[in-house]
Amino acid sequence: MRSGVVAVALALLVLAPLLPRQASAQFSFDARRYGMGGVSLSRDGNARRFNPAYRALKTHGETTGTPKFSIPVPIGLIKFFKDHPINQLSHDPMFDPKSTSFNPFELTNLIFNPPIFYEVKKSPTPTNNVEITLGKNQLIVNLGGSRVLIPEQSFGLGSTSRLFDAGAGFGGFHIGVMGFLQYDVAFTLDSALRRALTDTVTGVRPGDTLSLLSDAIAQAGLAPTVGFAGRLMHGADPATDDGLYLGGAVHYYLGATFGRLTGPAQIRVGSPIFGTTPAVALADTLRTSNQHNGHGVGGDVGFVWVSGPFEVGVGVNDIGAELTWSDTKVQSISYITTTGKLVTRIDTNHVETKTKLPVTYIANAALRMGTGTTVGGDVVNSGRGTVIHVGVEQRTGPFAVRGGVSRDQRKKMQFGFGGGLRLGPIGLDVGFFTHSNSLSTQRAITMATAISIY
Amino acid sequence: MKALAAALLVFVAACGQGKAIFNVDVYSFIAGTGKDTVPYIIPPSSSATGSTVQKINLPPGFGSSIVDSVRITNGSANLLTTSGSGRIGFQLYVAADSAGTYNAGALALNLPDTAVSAGPPISVSISGDLSAAVHTVFSQPTVWVRFVANGSNPNALPVTGLQGKMILTALTIRVVVEDKIF
């Protein structure tokens, strides 16, 4: 059993970099990008993903200083396996809940921050004491320093991803098929539950109803696509990239499956608190597709304007993407206190349900000065909050110096800096960046290293 | 209440390697139930005990945890003697079941006795660390405690002996656990 848990954890570690993330801009193997606060000055990656007009532009070249590809140097893995020998993982306290050293926060942080790169400064793991005061009519929970981790607003995770996008084109037209996956899981603690976890004076009050509200949706499928990208106007010299580019794509979404769970989980505290049996209530609604027959139409649009050293683009995805599922069922899920079991009951079956894909977008700009300086920024929303990156790169001979700032999905400022050395077709890049991908209020600093092939 | 306690333990578990500390106001559960009172009747020139047993429910899930310490942080009782004079001591027995509290090995706390005589109540303080031998009991969701008034009456008179009751007025137990939950 334990080896199974370890295997799953390791699989997560390995796959985590490949999984669609809330903001793909937050995770990359490109050390250059990390050194610039997460901004991508190239025309691939996020720009191409979100803006169909970029199909009409060259992806890389000497003008953009973009490598053909980057190979990460996983220094973090070396340290990880030194600290956690692979032949002893089944007994490793990090993965063994029965160990006195097991800390669920550490394991969660590891999953949030796969140890590909070297962690220069880890965010401290909360290890404070928790004090609970129990009386017949009193229940106070003091989480100590961990109290700050109790979210005030809705929390969860979500993303809209295009798992693949294959096709062929001619004359600016593109025909293909893409796989889409959208999920969003959101939880909200009501005020009574928040107070129960944060108020160290009153705590839980008799008769309180403590609620955890959940709203989770996941849908996936294929989408045949027809698109066009081309240059509408060009500059004085048609041989350059200067001009206005426009791109668009129409998708016919073929939904394979979807599920949505909404509703609260509640505990109704007795009065007095420990004198009466509390009522546990679960009144959730689960909507699921009976058949793989979701369908709908949506589209992407985008433009890019290039004028000498200046480039700006805007791309918007999944506009009007509403899927109609003609055969779904609606079930209610409730908790029976007397038996302690969950009971599912079909309320309605073979009914139509409509779902939407969230509109996602990117706005990016870059200025490539003749002095080897490139300044850029982007605003990305991949379905759950906006992320802003601004960065700069200065190239002098074989050397490069980089810096940048970003505002992450938690609206926290993050910072990056780094450098690089290019020797002909090979370059070595190092980027340091702060992040708050951990269950902690403090930032961590990671050093990304990569070999770039030009 | 287990559901509420278990739900809260999720957050306890989420707080890493720290310790879980439970302050259990035992008195609040027994106040007014009659179990807060231990009568004592000690015949002349003899010793005797009176006791009452109480069950305490703790949050579940600490079965494999290590109990660091258990102590009474706040406790007091009034000794109200109605006849005679002598000495009354307080003892606390702890076990996993009711019958077990009558075993000698279940003795968790033994306080020095206090001289008593008929008249106004005498307040005594109850505090101290419980014996390490009973610590493991506190990792279980159910704990039984027995409060004992242990008295001695050296006097031949009155013939009714030493009579009275020990009335608990406060009792808070603090349990510190290495939180290896679930």
Q: What pLDDT sits at residue A438?
A: 65
Partnered with residue A282 across adjacent β-strands are A265
Give the CATH number, domain containing residue B82: 2.60.120
Q: What is the pLDDT of residue A84?
A: 86
- Work out the number of other CB atoms within 10 angstroms of the CB of residue A311: 24
* C-alpha–C-alpha distance, residues B75 and B24, integer Å: 12
Going by C-alpha positions, the residue among B20, B8, B10 that lies closest to residue B178 is B20
In terms of Cβ atoms closer than 10 Å to its own Cβ (0-12, 13-18, 19+), residue A202 is exposed
Tokens of A388: 């802003």
Query: Apex CA A379: angle with CA A378 and CA A383, to 5°?
Result: 140
Contact of A176 with A167, CB cutoff 8 Å: yes
**% of chain A with per-residue pLDDT over 90:** 38
Please give the C-alpha separations between residue B109 and each of A424, B90, B98, B131, in angstroms, as whole numbers: 80, 8, 17, 7
The angle subtended at Cα A316 by Cα A184 and Cα A414, nearest 5°, is 65
DSSP annotation of A60: -
A440/B25: higher pLDDT: B25
Query: In this prediction, does ipTM exceed 0.85?
Result: no
> Which residues are CB-neighbours of A124 under 8 A, at least 6 positions away?
A440, A442
pLDDT > 70? residue A103: no
CA A359 to chain CA centroid, Å, is: 15
Full residue range of the structural domain in which residue B128 is found: 2-178
Closest CB to A197: pick one of B11, B59, B64.
Answer: B11
Q: Where are the beta strands (DSSP E) in A369-454?
A: 373-381, 386-396, 399-407, 413-423, 426-435, 444-453
How high is the pLDDT of residue B57?
A: 77
pLDDT band, residue B110 (cuts 50/70/90): very high
A62 confidence band (pLDDT: 50, 70, 90) = low
Give dist(CA A281, CA B170) in Å, integer: 35
> What is the helix (H) or strand (E) element at residue B30, kind and residue range?
helix B26-30
Q: What is the pLDDT of residue B127?
A: 94
The pLDDT score that the predictor gives to residue A1 is 35
- Count residue pairs from A and B with Cβ separation < 8 A: 107
> How far is residue A397 from each of residues A271, A374, A402, measured CA to CA in Å?
75, 14, 14
- Considering its fold, how many domains does chain B have in total? 1
Tell me: pLDDT of B70 over 60.
yes
Count of structural domains, chain A: 1
pLDDT computed for residue A61 by the predictor: 54
Q: Quick check: B11 contacting A, CB < 8 Å?
A: yes
Mean pLDDT over all residues of chain A?
Answer: 84
B3, B16, B31 member nearest A103 (Cβ): B16
d(CA B35, CA A234): 92
The residues that bridge with A140 in the sheet, in sequence order, are A133
Helix (H/G/I), strand (E/B), else coil: A201: coil
pLDDT the model gives residue A13: 34
Segment B113-135 shows an average pLDDT of: 94
Q: Residue A24 pLDDT more than 50?
A: no
Higher pLDDT, B35 or A323: A323
For residue B121, give the 3-state DSSP assignment.
coil
User: Which of A131-140, A190-199, A266-275, B54-63 has the weakest average pLDDT?
Assistant: B54-63
b/e map A360-378, b = 16+ CB within 10 Å = bbbbbbbbbeeeeebbbbb
* Confidence check: pLDDT of A313 > 60: yes
**A138-166 exposure pattern, b = at least 16 Cβ within 10 A, e = fewer:** bbbbbbbbbbebbeeeeebebbbbbeebe
CB-nearest to A267 from B7, B12, B23 is B7
pLDDT of residue A430: 95
Contact between chains at B18 and A137 (C-beta distance less than 8 A):
no
Instruction: Determine the Cα–Cα distance for residues A263 and A117; give it in Å rounded to an integer.
Output: 39
Q: A172: which DSSP letter?
A: T
Number of Cβ within 10 Å of residue B26's Cβ equals 23
A276-295 per-position pLDDT tens digit: 777 888 889 999 999 998 99
Residue span of the structural domain in which A257 resides: 2-453
The answer on pLDDT for B91 being more than 90 is yes
Of B25, B66, B180, the CB nearest to A135: B25
Residue A12 in contact with residue A4, Cβ under 8 Å?
no
Tell the residue number behind the tokens 């258990």, with chain if given.
Answer: B70
pLDDT tens digits along A294-312: 999 999 999 999 998 899 9
pLDDT digits (tens, 9 = 90+) for A234-280: 888 888 889 999 999 999 999 999 999 998 888 888 888 877 777 88
CA gap A217, A182 in Å, rounded: 8
Of B19, B28, B182, the CB nearest to A137: B28
The alpha carbon of residue A407 is apart from the nearest alpha carbon of chain B, in Å, by 27
∠ at Cα A66 (A63, A71), nearest 5°?
Answer: 160
Which of the residue ranges A103-112, A235-244, B173-182 has the most confident prediction, judged by mean pLDDT?
A235-244
Q: Does residue B84 register a pLDDT over 80? A: yes
CA atoms within 13 A on the CB side of A452: 26
Distance from CA of B32 to the nearest CA of A (A): 12
Taking CB atoms and an 8 Å cutoff, what residues of chain B touch A127?
15-18
Least confident of A408-412, A419-423, B23-27, B131-135: A408-412
**Per-residue pLDDT reduced to its tens digit, B12-62:** 555 455 688 889 999 998 898 888 999 999 999 998 888 999 888 776 656
- With a CB-CB cutoff of 8 Å, which residues 178-197 of chain A face chain B? 196-197
Which DSSP string do the residues of B169-181 spell out, in sequence order?
A: EEEEEEEEEE---
CB of B33 less than 8 A from some CB of A: no
CA dihedral A113, A116, A121, A123 (to 10 degrees): 10
Report the distance separating Cα A323 and Cα A291, nearest Å.
13
Question: A450 Cβ partners below 8 Å, 6+ apart?
Answer: A29, A30, A31, A32, A70, A71, A72, A73, A428, A429
The model's confidence at residue A435, banded by pLDDT at 50, 70 and 90, is: confident
Structure confidence at residue A121 (pLDDT): 87
| pLDDT per position as a tens digit, A330-380 | 999 988 877 878 889 999 999 999 999 999 999 999 998 878 899 999 999
Q: For residue A11, what pLDDT is reported?
A: 36
Report the 10 Å Cβ neighbour count for A354: 11
Residue numbers in B near A136 (CB within 8 A): 25, 28-29, 31
Do A278 and B4 make contact, defined as CB atoms within 8 angstroms?
Answer: yes
pLDDT value at A20 more than 90: no
Query: Are residues A141 and B17, on separate chains, in Cβ contact within 8 Å?
Result: no
Task: Give me the pLDDT at residue B77, please.
Answer: 95
